[in-house]
Amino acid sequence: MENFNFHVTTDIRFGKDRLDELPTVLNEFGKRVLIVYGGGSIKKNGLYDKVANELKENGNTVFELAGVEPNPRVTTVEKGAEICRQEKVDVILAIGGGSVIDAAKVIAAAAFYQGSAWDLVLERKGFAGPALPLVTILTLAATGSEMNTNAVITNWKTKEKLGTAGPSMLPKASFLDPQNTFTVNQYQTAAGSADIMSHLIENYFNKTEGTDVQDFVAEGIMRAVIKNCPIALKYPDDYDARANLMWASSLALNGLTGNGKQGSWSCHAIEHELSAFYDITHGIGLAIITPRWMEYVLNEQTAGKLAQFARNVFGVEESVDRMAARMGIQKLYDYFKACKIPMTLPEVGIDDEKFSLMAKQAVAHSSIDKNGYVPLDEAAVEEILRQSLVERNFE
């Protein structure tokens, strides 16, 4: 296990009907609030009105940035940062899922940044500047952005989707009420759960040895997702199912299962190119790519860990590692498919036209060719994409 720091100071307010605590939290930072949200679902389900009433009674001066995209654009970030500068905003309140929170994080930092918002993103995980305080109200269990420093932003003009991060982007407080996810449709619920699974899988398959605590915690969270996603799909207002998915989202990517490890996230590097060129739902792309990646990296050296995944997550009893590994990959594929996730690229409107370019950018924008669980060059990425064009049987 590698050396690491674990310092996640987000004030998590988990549970039912806690918005009456919002004014107290916001008052720590000031009265001038920028609300950031997406396509308007929070107005349909009544959450917007609840928040507006709390802020009105608290005497806040409120500004708004609506319409944050599912793959948030840097142009939207720039608009938000300009509002913050012009209106002397004290605190940002992000209401939504990971895309909204990611946009709000970079808005918070870009408000002080001497340069363009895209220049800030290009600092990647080395951003060390200040940011406005951020409070979040989570409406979708998926990215874990409510409890980490990461953000992913898309530059539609250059067809780039890149991650950035900095300590100042960590939300000061996050309100996690599972009831706010009751109205999330089946497609987005499944996509969000696939995103959670991918975060756990990316941390799990790592070159660093001796990380039993992280791995066993990850296995337990994966089992919780596998159990509770189908329940949430069938019974959208099942509180416990939604609660378990919401907490799994936060724990999957707050450092708990990833700290002490070193290595590149291969599936995310590939999927970011799918989203950058085709604007698909992130979790869907990850679900399609992950089983193909697992099959591609299966070899004598990796069979033991893939077999461990199969046995401890899916209960596979096969004693031969390589066979157990294939059975585990098949079970993951079948699980995603049972959640009604499209499992081929053509189903989400993607053909092989841009595979070569996407493969080139996946390697250029990451270190998967050097630090991946199994290093991947452009040819390897392109092969994984080609395997994603058709249905697969992995056993």
Report the CATH number at residue 90. Answer: 3.40.50.1970
User: Which CATH number goes with the domain that contains 296?
Assistant: 1.20.1090.10
Do residue 161 and residue 270 come from a single domain?
no
Note the Cα 338 to chain centre separation in Å.
Answer: 21
Q: Which of 180, 198, 215 is a domain's end point?
A: 180
Domain range for 345: 185-387
pLDDT at 170: 97
What is the Cα–Cα distance from 196 to 18, expressed in whole angstroms?
24
Name the pairing type of β-strands 91-96 and 160-165.
Answer: unpaired
Q: Which of 155, 180, 205 is a domain's end point?
A: 180
The answer to the question of residue 393 being in a domain is no
pLDDT at 126: 78
pLDDT digits (tens, 9 = 90+) for 146-161: 999 999 999 999 989 9
Is 138 in a helix, a strand, or coil?
A: strand
Do residue 63 and residue 121 come from a single domain?
yes
In the chain, the number of structural domains is 2
pLDDT at 98: 94
Q: Predicted confidence band at 123 (pLDDT cuts at 50, 70, 90)?
A: confident
Residue 247 pLDDT exceeds 90: yes
Q: Which of 164, 180, 196 is a domain's end point?
A: 180
Is 131 in a helix, a strand, or coil?
A: coil
pLDDT digits (tens, 9 = 90+) for 293-340: 999 999 999 999 999 999 999 999 999 999 999 999 999 999 999 999
Do residue 207 and residue 162 come from a single domain?
no
Count of Cβ atoms closer than 10 Å to residue 293 Cβ: 28
Residue 40 pLDDT exceeds 90: no
The answer to the question of residue 368 being in a domain is yes
pLDDT digits (tens, 9 = 90+) for 86-105: 999 999 999 999 999 999 99
Distances (CA, A) of 269 to 62, 82, 161, 275: 37, 30, 9, 10
Residue 51 pLDDT exceeds 90: yes
Do residue 238 and residue 100 come from a single domain?
no
Do residue 21 and residue 166 come from a single domain?
yes
Q: Please check whether residue 195 is in contact with residue 285, taking contact to mean a CB–CB distance below 8 angstroms.
A: no
Do residue 72 and residue 37 come from a single domain?
yes
Do residue 276 and residue 347 come from a single domain?
yes
Do residue 208 and residue 119 come from a single domain?
no
Do residue 239 and residue 162 come from a single domain?
no
The contacts of residue 326 (CB under 8 Å, 6+ apart) are 295, 298, 394, 395
What is the Cα–Cα distance from 282 to 274, expressed in whole angstroms?
8
Sign of the C-alpha dihedral computed for residues 4, 253, 158 and 378 taken in this order? positive
The answer to the question of residue 235 being in a domain is yes
The answer to the question of residue 1 being in a domain is no
What is the total residue count of the chain?
395
